Amino acid sequence: MKLKLGIFGYPLSHSISPAFQQAALDELNLDVTYEAWEVRPSDLKSRIEELRNPGYLGANVTIPHKESAMDLVDDLDPLAEKIGSLNTIVNRNGKLFGYNTDAAGLLKALNSTGAFDPNGAQVLIVGAGGAARAAVCALLDLNIAGLVIANRTVDRAIVLQKYFDSNIEVLAIGIDDPRLSEYIKKSRLIINCTSMGMKNGPAEHLSPLGESLIPEESLVCDMVYNPPMTPLLTEAVKSGAFIVGGLPMLIYQGASAFELWTNVTPPISVMFTAAENALEGNQ
């Protein structure tokens, strides 16, 4: 019997997860299909219940279901509980387990560049949504010196500032706060956790930060993966910064999910090639 995997989200036309996950499954000759399951919020509960059937290994979960899905599984991994959202569900004999692999995916993406030493580093995060929450959780486990969360709505940044219990100093400010430029100049790592710069998005051609603000030899990470070279990354290159796009994080979080479903290490290079080809096809 061919087993099933897939991704729950709404909408899902932008997702390239089916392309790189299926490529990895095929490379390992696993008799499994990975599909895109566009699911409205009102239908999420019934669709997740289907995952209990023996024909399903599990699923990925993306926007806007990452938080609501937490109440629909039987058991939550401590990290998913800490972050407050899940992105992976595993079916083990009809019991559903929820995981969050976003934080691990981000750290692997940062480590892949070799350009970021967390020890004593100041970090700036732009955004205060679910992606930012995973980033903050991951970074607070490192030996960073301090973290600034800049968001258009200051109240949301304050909520995230207070969400995690940590000895590391965390500051929440508005994206238009005049102090922001000084915090940026001191930052060794800058992460965009917003959709700004995303292809076909409302702010497709905009960057959250300009070239003049980005420190030379800092590391700038953009979680947006389409286009591969976002306006922010373009500005960062001009400033002499190192960059990492959103694709490595997407692949590494997907690889961690793949291992949870199959107990097999996926071929990362195959996943990258398939993802890059999928992005080229979407241009």
- Could you give the residue numbers annotated as active site? 66
Between strands 122-126 and 3-9, the pairing is unpaired
Q: 177-182: long-range contacts (C-beta < 8 A, 24 or more apart)? A: 177/150, 180/148, 180/150, 181/213
Inter-residue contact 233 to 243 (CB < 8 Å) = yes
Within 10 angstroms of residue 211's Cβ, the number of other Cβ atoms is: 15
Look at phi and psi of residue 174 and say left if phi exceeds 0, alpha if psi is from -120 to 50, else beta: beta
- Can you list the positions of beta strands (E) in the chain? 3-9, 32-38, 58-61, 75-76, 88-92, 95-99, 122-126, 146-151, 169-174, 189-192, 219-222, 242-244
Phi, psi angles (nearest 5°) of residue 240 = 90, 20
CA distance 64 to 39: 10
CA distance 215 to 217: 6
CA distances (Å), origin 70, targets 48, 57, 67, 146: 11, 18, 6, 30
Q: Number of helices (H) and strands (E), helices first, in the chain? A: 10, 12
Q: How far is CA 37 from the centre of its chain?
A: 19
Between strands 58-61 and 88-92, the pairing is antiparallel
Look up residue 58 and give its two tokens.
């599990």
